[in-house]
Amino acid sequence: MSYLLSESFRQLAVGVVCLSTAIASWHASAGVVIEGSRQIYPELRREITVRLTNDDRQQSRLVQVWLSGAEQDADAADAPFNITPPVFRLDAGKSQALRVTYTKEPLPVDKESVFWLNVLEVPPKVDIKNQESDEGSNQLTFAFRIRTKLFFRPNSLPGNSEQAPAQLRWTLRPGNKNGTLEVFNPSAFHVTFNEVALTAPDGTQVPLALIAGDAMVAPGQVMRFAQANIPSLFPQQMHVEFKYINDYGGFSLPQRAPLHR
């Protein structure tokens, strides 16, 4: 298991942020960057490597990393993975490779599982003792937490992630004036959207927003978009256009899908 997030580290992160109401000016810049917007862990791999880089060329960072379940409290480090090293100093302009290892605890074999890779960074010199001095009263250093998704991919899944978007089933649920768009994902892979719109035969587009939550539809799940102001002209001939995010974090070309009723 990954190490639990230390209580003192969390308190430090919260404490430096809470001072913002009493400080005239502050330094707030996240320096640590995760390589890749998502991580894929194939079941048969012994481990994967995730690289972190401190883009701040002047100041080092104290970093703590852990994995949490997608539906869990972000502070809960009880995902079935070990991360090495869990806590370290990342010098200015330097990189650190993280080794992520699956602990072999049972996970679903018929679909992907998704987790959050959390990275908490705090500059090492957080001096809150001298806040009453002229120099200290003008300084505040923030702690930042960034995170990215990690997908655990069983070896026996049918098809592949690039085939999943074409399997999506889009349904328009009519309303009095508007309609609600639903998308069902019958595949074993998660699909994350970058853009979704309804398009009429004349080219008119109605961009859609999620009702709530992340722009990702899980295997076997339905996701709903906010009510759409559907053009009255030929609504039965409208179709869906969308872009999704691939395994490498890039945006796909526009995809076109029919509407079902």
What would you measure as the largest C-alpha separation in the chain, in angstroms? 69
All domains in the chain, ordered by first residue? 7-153 (2.60.40.10), 164-260 (2.60.40.10)
What per-residue string of b and e applies to 223-255 under the rule 16 or more CB within 10 Å gives b? Answer: bbbebbebbeeebeebebbbbbbeeeeeeeeeb
Instruction: Provide the pLDDT for residue 16.
Output: 38
Q: What spatial distance separates the first Cα and last Cα of the chain, rounded to whole Å?
A: 46
**Across residues 46-69, what is the average pLDDT?**
93
Q: Under a CB-based contact definition with an 8 Å cutoff, are residues 244 and 252 in contact?
A: yes
Split at pLDDT 50, 70, 90, the class of 172 is confident
Kindly report which listed range (16-25, 43-52, 123-132) carries the lowest average pLDDT score: 16-25
49-53, 203-207, 208-212 — which one is most confidently predicted on average? 49-53
| DSSP secondary structure, 163-189, as one string | THHHH-EEEEEE-SS-EEEEEE--SSS
70/120: higher pLDDT: 120
Q: Under a CB-based contact definition with an 8 Å cutoff, are residues 54 and 92 in contact?
A: yes
User: How far are the Cα atoms of 90, 182, 186, 236, 257 from residue 233, in angstroms, in the given order?
Assistant: 58, 21, 31, 9, 19
Q: Structure tokens of 189? A: 């892979």
Instruction: Provide the pLDDT for residue 94.
Output: 95
30-34, 58-62, 115-119, 212-216 — which one is most confidently predicted on average? 115-119
What is the C-alpha to C-alpha distance for residues 54 and 40, in angstroms, rounded to an integer? 22
Q: Structure tokens of 102? A: 């699956």
pTM for this entry? 0.80
| Percent of the chain residues past pLDDT 90, beyond the cut | 52
Please check the confidence at residue 15 and state whether its pLDDT lies above 70: no
